[in-house]
Structure 1
Amino acid sequence: MVLEATMIAIDNSEYMRNGDYLTNRYEAQLTATEFIFQNKVNSNPENTVGLLAYGGNGPQVLATLTTDFGKILSGAHETKIFGENHFSSGIQVAALALKHRQNKVQSQRIIVFVGSPISESEKDLEKLAKKMKKNNVAIDIINFGEEAVNTSKLEKFTSIINNHDNSHLVTVPAGPRLLYEVIASSPILVEGGFEGESNDFGAGSFGPDGDIIDPNMDPDLALALRLSLEEEKARQERESQDTNKAEASAEKPESSEGSSKPNGKDDPKNEDSEMKDN
């Protein structure tokens, strides 16, 4: 098992209010953060994870490297959404936090969520990537929400910093799959992982009943993730029902208009009236 110190950098800029990911980009990011934390700690009990937010007025360390999930959760939920993306400074502050890790044997890794446009030029990102590579810092990037703007920049950044396949870029377009589900099957958490529908996500990712988290390892997180999936399924079913009702109501006036002939000869009342007159 790899011994790592990991800093998770979350995006808390204004773009994270968008609702194209359930329930919005920020909440989808927090669920994925919780999942990543549990995965890292479960894979090696000596692994540590920290949390940093790099939106707002600038980077802010929310939780130093720890194995206490409560500290990560508290820091994440106390963060406010405002301001802009500060990608480069966020990476540098995260690297500084890793430098001060207590166990120097741990390898250094940053997992950064990018859900808003990156303002830095490709040249600036190239310098940053070379600096991180020189300091032996691996960086995994989760690119979502603004893929059209960021993908080309992040692909070049990842190609420069990548050292023997230690850094990865995972692009997650909005769609039916939840953000953490895609991350669960990606190389960020699974060695040789991939994006796609499969149950082969690596040891420790799934429980005995096919749950992404083994309930015996972490019952609270397993329940939270299951409820999230059920809510998403219920939402999709409601949308499908609403669509069917809308289509039915749109067709109803046409059918009633064609069948209703109050003044026509085919009306039974008119026929009775004519027979009486005769």
Structure 2
Amino acid sequence: MVLEATIIAIDNSEYMRNGDFVTTRYDAQATATEYIFQNKINSNPENTVGLLSYGGSGPQVLSTLTTDFGKILSGAHGTKISGENHFSSGLQVAALALKHRQNKVQNQRIIAFVGSPIRESDKELEKLAKKMKKNNVAVDIVNFGEENVNTAKLEKFHTAVNNHDNSHLVTVPPGPRLLYEVIATSSILAEEGFEMADSNDFFGGVDANMDPDLALALRLSLEEEKQRQEREAKESKETKDDLTKIEEEDEERKEK
């Protein structure tokens, strides 16, 4: 089990009001934040997680490193949406918070949600990435909402910050799957136990013995999503068959 101190950096800029993720980008991000916290704590009881926002007028530490879910919950749901994102300064403040962790044995990690356009240039991002790498801070990025604008920049940042595959970039376009569900199966949390998803005791990195309600909710959610996709596929096939039948009948009428 990896021993880590993790700062989750959330985007609370004006773009997070957008409704292309359920119910808004910010709400999708908040749910994913809660999921990540539970996953990290369940994977190792000595792990700690902090929360930081980097929209508005600048970065704000919402919760220092903790194992208290209530502090993360309060921070995520008590934050106002405003202004633009301050990606570079946000990551630097997160790294500073990690530097002051009580348990120096913990590996350092930042998980940053990016749901609005990044203003920094490629050169500025490369400089930031090298600084993170030098200080042994792994950086995972959840790129969503503005992926058309940000992906190229974030791919370069990821290449520069990645050290022996310790950092990950996950790009999530709007779609039927919930944001936290995509993260649950991504490289960001894969190492934390998702590979045991078929076990009776674990689901999505959540220990069913520790939190049976959350594990059940995740299982039901993914099963419902699978059923919905199967229904859509069936309906699509039926529609296609009906159109084919109509076209064939039209051809027959033309021939007569």
Question: TM-score surpassing 0.5?
Answer: yes
TM-score range, shorter chain: 0.7 to 0.9
Contact 2:9 2:113 in 1 (8 A): yes
Structure possessing the higher relative contact order (Cα contacts under 8 Å, 6 or more residues apart): 2
The 5 A counterparts of 1:88-237 are 88-191=88-191, 201-203=194-196, 205=197, 208=200, 212=204, 213-222=206-215, 225=218
**Which residue matches 1:40?**
40
Confirm or deny that 1:7 pairs with 2:7: yes
Name the aligned partner's letter for residue 214 of structure 2. Answer: L
Name the aligned partner's letter for residue 216 of structure 1. Answer: N
Name the aligned partner's letter for residue 30 of structure 1. Answer: A
Structure 2 SS opposite 1:221? helix
Q: How large is the RMSD of aligned CA atoms in angstroms?
A: 2.7
Structure 2 SS opposite 1:16? helix
Q: CA deviation at 1:24?
A: 0.8
CA distance in 1, matches of 2:202, 2:2: 25
Structure 2 SS opposite 1:51? strand
Contact 1:208 1:214 in 2 (8 A): no
- Give % identity: 79
**Which residue matches 1:263?**
none
Q: CA deviation at 1:208?
A: 2.6
Question: TM-score if structure 2 supplies the norm length?
Answer: 0.82
Q: CA deviation at 1:118?
A: 0.2
**Which residue matches 2:23?**
23
Distance 1:133 1:55, change over 3 A: same
Distance 1:228 1:10, change over 3 A: farther
**Which residue matches 2:241?**
none
Structure 2 SS opposite 1:143? strand
Question: TM-score if structure 1 supplies the norm length?
Answer: 0.76
Deviations 1:3-35 (A, max 9, x none): 100000000001011111111101110111111
Q: CA deviation at 1:153?
A: 0.3
Deviations 1:132-156 (A, max 9, x none): 1111100000000000000000000
Contact 2:42 2:207 in 1 (8 A): no
CA distance in 1, matches of 2:201, 2:44: 23
